[in-house]
Amino acid sequence: MIRQVSMIVLLMWSGAALASMAEHAQRANTAGIDVITYKTNVHDVVVIVAALPGGDAMADGGNIAVPTLAGMMLDRGTKAMDMFAIADKLDSVGAEVDFDVGTQSLHIHAKCLKKDVPLVIGLIASELRTPAMLPAEFAKAKQQFVGGLQASSQNSGARAHEAFERRIYPEGNPNRPHTMAEFAAAAKSVNLDEVKAFQAKYYGPAHMTMVVAGDVSDADTRAEIAKAFAGWSGGRDYIRSPATSAAASGPREINVALSDKPSVTVILGQATGLRYRDPDALPLRIGTAILGRGFTGRLMSTVRDREGLTYGISAVVSDDSITDGAWDISASFAPSLLQKGIASTRRELDKWWKDGVSAQELAARKQGIIGDYLVGLATTGGLADTILVNVQRGYGVSWLDEFSQAVEAVTLSQVNAAIKAHLDPASMVLVEAGSVAADGAAANHHPADGGAAGGHAAANGRPPSAH
């Protein structure tokens, strides 16, 4: 009874929301930037998120540390103000501005009170257009970059993902990362002129998107953007077509040995050859959620809940907003339970791939995805991030409305066909990062502990979990 009521009401809520969401958004080009404003019910809070092509993949055959260092130099002063003066202006009103360099994008995240929107937009513009690029600050940025890399080199999750992505993406693919060691070596040899040249070449309005959400006035916001960014030009497009379409090659099992790690990170997956907007992409995403999203995903229900082999295991589709992406299962296992955990994971993967998902699973998961999506839009930050990524994927603001309908329209046959067409468990890459020996055996065994028996549920009189 509860379930039926919930479903009906949720759909009514979704319908009401869907009819009006895009109407709150206004999209137009301002000072050469694709600007979207969205008025929400929040009082006095404004969130600004933006992105432009300036990520690591734009190193363009040059020094690979340049894009990250260019981003790190942005909040270290402008030609008009040193970094402490900028920090003082922001801190004195409680505003926040952060820059982050990703695979293809330079991301900007800001939050402020309504009255401070002109200040924050002005500072973002100054930092992007006229960074000071002082040699002394550049030296500090390099030192911090290298120090951060060294710290990350001991993180089993970061090392596992690095190895996985380097194995599934071929040379020339923008999603293929350089190693942390390569970044560190490059950072030591890079010079400031290279960073200045990168900033001049890539930072510009031509392919920049900015979302301003919250307690905003569209007209006032655009006026501030027009003033702050007037006369700015340039910018390059994202790398939408990789230089190579060749498949990556190499071993199917990779061991990243890290000393004294009581938990091993495991990644099992492959490149998909799919982008977010491809017809099979959404069916594959929904099917993947049935396998590996949340407590009720098959992996958590079995490998964690029934067998007790891991704290966390999930399956995701990733990196497919601009170019073809990846599919993977990630999990953590104690070294002594590693082989058992991998075997259970493969068992669930094979079953899912071979037999597909059921109509009941699909119906429940579609409803959950829609509900989760709508809850995520209830904060200004969540809404702004969603709009930005939608635009990067090539959608208009109407996708805010259309997403739920697209999910609803996916059929069982589409899901099961997409799984079969784009994944192949037999050829997936397996990465283990942690204290494991080269042959996958535990490098620092704990006393024998076999994990929990899989059949315990029946032992206490209950049937096995019905998933």
Q: Where in 396-425 is the site for other proteins (CB under 8 A)?
A: none
113 belongs to the binding site for other proteins (CB under 8 A): yes
Least distance to other proteins, CB of residue 227, Å: 23
**What gap in Å lies between CA 382 and CA 374, rounded to an integer?**
10
Q: Are strands 45-53 and 209-214 parallel, antiparallel or unpaired?
A: antiparallel
Q: Please, which residue, 43 or 231, has the CB nearer to other proteins?
A: 43
DSSP state of 241: S
CB 329 within 8 A of CB 345: yes
Q: Say how far apart CA 204 and CA 183 lie, in whole Å.
A: 25
**CB nearer to other proteins: pick between 33 and 349:** 349
Q: Does 388 bind other proteins (CB under 8 A)?
A: no
The conformation of residue 304, written as its DSSP 8-state character, comes to I
From CA 328, how far away is CA 319, in angstroms rounded?
11
Identify the residue whose tokens are 């589409």: 414
**Binding status of residue 93 toward other proteins by CB under 8 A:** yes
Among 167, 261, 285, 422, binds other proteins (CB under 8 A): 261
Using the rule CB under 8 A, give the single segment among 23-31, 106-114, 275-283, 350-358 that binds other proteins: 106-114
Work out how close the CB of 233 gets to other proteins at its nearest, in angstroms, rounded to a whole number: 27
Q: Does 26 bind other proteins (CB under 8 A)?
A: no
466 binds other proteins (CB under 8 A): yes
Q: Does 426 bind other proteins (CB under 8 A)?
A: no
Tell me: does residue 4 bind other proteins (CB under 8 A).
no
In the complex, minimum distance from the CB of residue 17 to other proteins, in angstroms, rounded to a whole number: 8
What secondary structure does DSSP assign to 105-159, as a single string? EEEEEEEEEGGGHHHHHHHHHHHHH-B---HHHHHHHHHHHHHHHHHHTT-HHHH
Ramachandran assignment for 443, one of left (phi > 0), alpha (psi -120 to 50 degrees), beta (any other): alpha
The reply to whether 182 sits near other proteins by the rule CB under 8 A is no
Least distance from other proteins to the Cβ atom of residue 3, Å: 7
Alpha-carbon 257 to chain mean position = 26
Which residue among 19, 80, 151, 441 contacts other proteins (CB under 8 A)?
A: 151
Shortest Å distance, C-beta 27 to other proteins = 22
9 contributes a contact to other proteins by CB under 8 A: yes
Q: Which residue in this structure is represented by tokens 């360099």? A: 101
Element (H, E) at 465: none
Does residue number 337 form part of the binding site for other proteins (CB under 8 A)?
yes
Instruction: Supply the minimum distance, in Å, between the C-beta of residue 436 and other proteins.
Output: 9
Of 122 and 273, the one with the shorter C-beta distance to other proteins is: 122
Q: Does 310 bind other proteins (CB under 8 A)?
A: yes
Site for other proteins contains 83 (CB under 8 A): yes
For 49, the 3-state DSSP assignment is: strand
- Tell me which of 103, 270, 345, 414 binds other proteins, using CB under 8 A: 103
Instruction: Check binding of 435 to other proteins (CB under 8 A).
Output: yes
Contacts (Cβ under 8 Å, ≥6 apart) of 85: 77
Residue 87 interacts with other proteins (CB under 8 A): yes or no: yes
Find the binding residues for other proteins in span 349-368 (CB under 8 A).
Answer: 364-365, 367-368
| Chosen residue from 63, 156, 173, 199 binding other proteins by CB under 8 A | 156
Contact between 121 and 224 (Cβ < 8 Å): yes
Under a CB-based contact definition with an 8 Å cutoff, are residues 70 and 54 in contact? yes
Q: Does 131 bind other proteins (CB under 8 A)?
A: no
Copy the structure tokens of residue 335: 């070294």
Give φ, ψ of 442 to 5 degrees: -65, 135
How many Å apart are CA 214 and CA 245, to the nearest integer? 42
- Of 10 and 248, the one with the shorter C-beta distance to other proteins is 10
Distance of closest approach, residue 226 Cβ to other proteins, in angstroms = 26
Q: Is 369 an interacting residue with respect to other proteins (CB under 8 A)?
A: yes
One residue of 34, 60, 100, 194 binding other proteins per CB under 8 A: 100
Q: 224: part of which helix (H) or strand (E)?
A: helix 218-228
Token pair of 171, please? 């040379």
Single-letter code of the amino acid located at 320: D
Q: Can residue 444 be called a binding residue for other proteins (CB under 8 A)? A: yes
Interface positions, 317-336, toward other proteins (CB under 8 A): 332-334
**Window 34-53: contact mask with other proteins (x via CB under 8 A):** ------xxxxxx-x------
**Is 22 in contact with 398 (CB distance < 8 Å)?**
yes
Q: Does 375 bind other proteins (CB under 8 A)?
A: yes
Q: Exposed (0-12), middle (13-18) or buried (19+): which is 236, by Cβ within 10 Å?
A: middle
Binding residues for other proteins, total number by CB under 8 A: 130
> Considering beta carbons, is residue 394 or 455 the nearer one to other proteins?
455
**Nearest residue (CB) to other proteins, 130 versus 155:** 155
Q: Does 202 bind other proteins (CB under 8 A)?
A: no
Query: C-alpha 165: how far from its chain's center?
Result: 14
Beta carbons of 154 and 258 less than 8 angstroms apart: yes
Applying CB under 8 A, does 448 fall inside the site for other proteins? no
